[in-house]
Amino acid sequence: MNPLRAAFREYYALRSRSIFVPRIDLREIMMVTFDGTVIRHVSVKNLESLRAMLAREAPRHAYYSVGLYERPAAKSMAEKGLKGAEVLFDIDADHLGVDECDYGLAWRCKSCGESGDGAPPDACPKCGSRDLERLDWLSEGCLEAAKREAIRLLEILESDLGVSGDELMVYYTGHRGYHVRILSERFLGLGKEERRELASHVSGLSFDPEEVFYVKGSVLTTPRVDEGGWRGRIAREMLQLLEGSSGGKTALPSSVAERRGELVRALGEGVPLINPTRALVRDLRRMAEEIVQARRVRIDEMVTPDTSRLTRIPNSLHGKTGLRAMALSPDELRDFQPLGDAVGLSDDQIRVFTTAPVPRFRVKGESFGPYEPGVGVDLPMFAAALILLKGRGVIP
């Protein structure tokens, strides 16, 4: 057996008790094996069967549905009979536009095997082929950025939607992101449009500064600090800016500084502001927009409305890293270190032959690399798995 698959199997044999899926009998399960076979439309009665199945198949990827179905194993959505679906938010570091996420980027030519650092060039410098593979990597900075989004998401879900604690499920995907599911009964029945609305709420997409700084005739209504949602967040942050700037530290637009007293009363007590200048309205709206931009949660908006999604089974292994898709409590999330805490594979030594450059990396507190392409190195399984699954090495 492929030593990698053997390592996955060992994990599922030893750690199967950590695998769990709430309401398992209503879920669709999907797996992708190491030889690329997709096993779909599977349902299992209970956790024991799921754990046994994982230990038997030792799949490369294992997923479960956000949907709860009457007949989860049916082939089509119509036959499955959707009873409800958890609300899913997907945070993927690839969408964050963070430089750290390009750390260790490399490429390899699919025709001749040539490889190099950085983004793939237009054509292979050696053989001229245009069939080049882009190879990404994991970096702590990138994963931190994703984690910060997840933490902000949880804050918004708690303050605005009133969901917290065991109404939520949070987990590291095992790769470059986080998933958050709302489990509470009262959200299960939401339709596509309603989910889209939730997505554009947390991502600030549907925020409109003209609504929040609302002008009617000569009266400007502002948000107030004791309000909830984006209105309250904006009011509180603006009030801080106004009060903090009294010493002249922060530069406020002059239109705003001139009316500071009135604005403090508007934001603090909801006293409408009379005869605002055009410049004032414009500047306030721009400031509000900036606050939302800085605090919005950059989720993948296409994911949330879709009730037919599947995500990784909690604590199963991710087939691109060998890391665990770890279920976390909101408290655990804060101190969570993916490249240490989510290691699930053993430290048995294995020899790997690199086929592309491998950057310097740290797993479980140990440093590895950098390695040139074409060298053999002996590594613990958890580090070797990363190189192998990221397509930068083979087992000789």
Partner 1 sequence: MEEHDPALASRYPFTSLGERLIESEGLTEKDLAYDPLLEQSRRHARGRLLSAVGGGLYLDDLYLPPLDAVATYLIVRLVSSWIGDPFLNRLVAEHESKRFHRLARDEPIHVLAWLGGELGAAIRLDGERAWIDISSYLRAAAGLGGPRWRLANRDVRSGQVLVGRRELARLLQELLRTHLLEPTPRPSLSPPLRAIGTEVTRRLEERKSSIQSSRPSRQALPPCIERLVEKAERGENMSHQERFTLAAYLLRVGWSVDRVVDLFRSAPDFKERVARYQVSHIAKGGYNPPNCETLRSWGICVEDCGVKSPLSYGRRGRRRR
Instruction: Choose the contact partner of 140 out of partner 1, Zn ion, none; CB within 5 to 8 A by kind.
Output: none
Is residue 118 left, alpha or beta, with left meaning phi > 0 and alpha meaning psi from -120 to 50? left
Name the residue among 93, 121, 138 with its Cα closest to residue 299. Answer: 93
232 binds partner 1 (CB under 8 A): yes
Tell me whether residue 90 is exposed, middle or buried, using C-beta atoms within 10 angstroms of its C-beta: 0 to 12, 13 to 18, 19 or more. Answer: buried
Q: Which of 283, 297, 293 has its CA nearest to residue 242?
A: 283
Distance CA 307, CA 91 (A): 17
Nearer to partner 1 among residue 270 and residue 359 (C-beta)? 270
Alpha helices in the chain (DSSP H): 3-14, 47-57, 77-80, 140-156, 185-188, 192-202, 209-212, 229-244, 254-258, 260-269, 278-295, 330-335, 338-341, 381-389
What minimum distance in Å lies between the beta carbon of 194 and partner 1? Answer: 4
- Please say whether the beta carbons of 28 and 42 come within 8 A: yes
**What is the nearest approach in angstroms of partner 1 to the Cβ of residue 305?**
8
Cβ closest to partner 1, residue 60 vs residue 195: 195
Residue number with CB closer to Zn ion (129 or 329)? 129
The one of partner 1, Zn ion, none whose footprint includes residue 10, by CB under 5 to 8 A per kind, is none
CA distance 243 to 192: 42
* Binding residue for partner 1, selected from 10, 194, 243, 258, defined by CB under 8 A: 194
Residues forming the site for Zn ion (CB under 5 A): 109, 111-112, 114, 124, 126-127, 129
C-alpha 160 chain-centroid distance? 20
Residue 230 binds partner 1 (CB under 8 A): yes
Integer distance in angstroms from the first to the last C-alpha of the chain?
14
From CA 319, how far away is CA 110, in angstroms rounded? 21
Q: How far is the CB of 221 from partner 1 (least distance, A)?
A: 12
Candidates 100, 155, 160, 348; binder of partner 1 (CB under 8 A) is 160
CB of 222 to partner 1, least distance (A): 13
**Helix or strand run (H / E) with residue 171:** strand 168-172
| Residue from the set 34, 63, 178, 187 that interacts with partner 1 by CB under 8 A | 187
Q: Using an 8 Å Cβ cutoff, are 74 and 42 in contact? A: no
Alpha-carbon gap, residue 20 to 60, rounded angstroms? 17
Please tell me whether residue 258 binds partner 1 under the rule CB under 8 A.
no
Which listed range, 8-16, 49-57, 198-206, 366-374, lies at the site for partner 1 (CB under 8 A)? 198-206
**Should residue 166 be labelled a site residue for partner 1 when binding is judged by CB under 8 A?**
no
200 binds partner 1 (CB under 8 A): yes
Q: Does 287 contact partner 1 by CB under 8 A?
A: no
The reply to whether 300 belongs to the active site is: yes
- Which one is catalytic: 25, 160, 300, 341? 300
Closer Cβ to partner 1, 306 or 348, answer by number? 306
205 binds, among Zn ion, partner 1, none (CB under 5 to 8 A by kind): partner 1
Q: Using CB under 8 A as the criterion, which residues of the chain lie in contact with partner 1 when the complex forms? A: 159-163, 186-187, 189-191, 193-194, 196-198, 200-201, 204-208, 210-212, 227-232, 292, 301-302, 305-306
- Kindly list the catalytic residues: 90, 92, 300
